[in-house]
Structure 1
Amino acid sequence: MKQTFQELITYLKNPVLEKDNNTNLNYRFTKFIHLLIICIITSGLIMPLFYLIEYLGLVDMEKHAMEDMMKTLSKPMVFFFAVIVAPLVEELIFRGPITLFKDKNSFKIAFYSFAIIFGLVHITNYNITTNVLLLIPLLIAPQTILGGYLGFIRVRFGLQWSILLHACYNAFFMIMAFAGETV
């Protein structure tokens, strides 16, 4: 996993349009699991910041779009939208076009731009207030970083792998949310 993390960090510092030619399924599945764990750990490291933001009364996390969905839709429907619909649609929009940028410089700009726009789109999950606007960089950090991770696997292994990683990432957090409700 350390090697995968180092590859990921090196890639994020200088993204290039270069596929991983190792098509061995065991190799790819191992890298996939490593990336999923890295995604989850990254979110876990950022999460205390959100607790602090809420504790300080800067943003009411109860007014988050996911909280609204959890209150108005059945668990299977929330799971379906979060784990199937969102990853499919978002990956087609934000990772699908990345490989169209063949020039080295335009690829790098596109890679970072799609990751940032992916993060910015998620600001709509919040009720827009002055505090939310001021805290945008922090509030979208998890999605922006995830966008970079998803871009990495998309370029290296293909679009289907970024869709799968996105779906598994969302599924993990949906299962945690559902488990937290019963406690």
Structure 2
Amino acid sequence: MKIFYKLLDFLKNPEKAPAYQPMKFSEFFGLLILAIIVVVPYAYILEFMGMDQFENGLGDLLKENKWIIAIFGIVLAPLIEEPIFRLHLDLKITSIWYSLGLSLLFAMAIWFPIIFIGYMIFLLIRVSSDNPPPLKFVVYFSAAFFGLVHITNFKDFDYGQYFYYIPFLVAIQFWIGLVLSYIRLNHGMKWAILFHGVYNTIFILPAIYFYEP
């Protein structure tokens, strides 16, 4: 599959496209398939390893109002998370300021790793001094934080006792963060937001439809 090799090349050496091009349906669909064929088996592996012991807060929200999940996950999450975690990947000062501002607002609403804000300030200083860090570092670091913030999905997670489980529990989001980084740097933010929304839809709507209290 051509898109697989394009994504693989990007992961080895991330680069920003000289000009953004609209995504073809075949590429959009191909990336969705690549995302899903990693995510679904991995979820079963986590269950086999006994990591389903950690209660996901999604269940509580589904009990209260399952359509809140749909609106937030399909619409609001992509519109909030993509500018925070992917906008600054072009290493432009204005993009970094925008991502930093949104991350500060996000930090006021829920738990957020304070080190990410420090990382954004570091980027701002480096780019302002015409000495940006390697794009590969920025892509992987941002994807790691995108994964890490999703540990808050787990209800009453004991970080001190189960810290060694964290990389396994957020690996799916890390993977999706890398896919979204590829889209953002090759096709632009709007395509990353759209892909994020469609990806979430694939998993959220069945969860809502088949949910039984």
Q: TM-score range by the shorter chain?
A: 0.7 to 0.9
User: 1:170/1:43 Cα in 2 relative to 1: closer, same or farther (>3 Å)?
Assistant: same
Question: Whole-Å Cα distance in 1 between the matches of residues 183 and 147 of structure 2?
Answer: 17
Aligned partners of 1:150 and 1:162 also within 8 Å: yes
Question: Whole-Å Cα distance in 1 between the matches of residues 139 and 60 of structure 2?
Answer: 31
Q: TM-score, normalised on structure 2?
A: 0.74
- Counterpart residue number, 2:9: 10
SS of corresponding position for 2:210: helix
Aligned partners of 2:17 and 2:186 also within 8 Å: yes
- Counterpart residue number, 2:106: none
Question: What do you get for the CA RMSD once the two structures are aligned?
Answer: 2.1
The offset of 1:19, in angstroms, is 4.5
Alignment of 1:136-155 (within 5 A): 136-155=166-185
Aligned partners of 1:19 and 1:157 also within 8 Å: no
Question: Whole-Å Cα distance in 2 between the matches of residues 112 and 123 of structure 1?
Answer: 17
Question: Whole-Å Cα distance in 2 between the matches of residues 4 and 80 of structure 1?
Answer: 30
Alignment of 1:14-163 (within 5 A): 14-19=13-18, 23=21, 25=22, 28-53=24-49, 56=50, 58-61=51-54, 63-72=55-64, 74-100=65-91, 105-126=133-154, 127-129=156-158, 130=160, 132-163=162-193
Gaps of 5+ in 2: 93-126
SS of corresponding position for 1:15: coil
Aligned partners of 1:19 and 1:155 also within 8 Å: no
CA deviations 1:17-55 (Å, max 9, x no partner) are: 22466x3x5x522211111121111111211122123xx
Gaps of 5+ in 1: none
Runs (4+) off by over 4 Å: 101-105
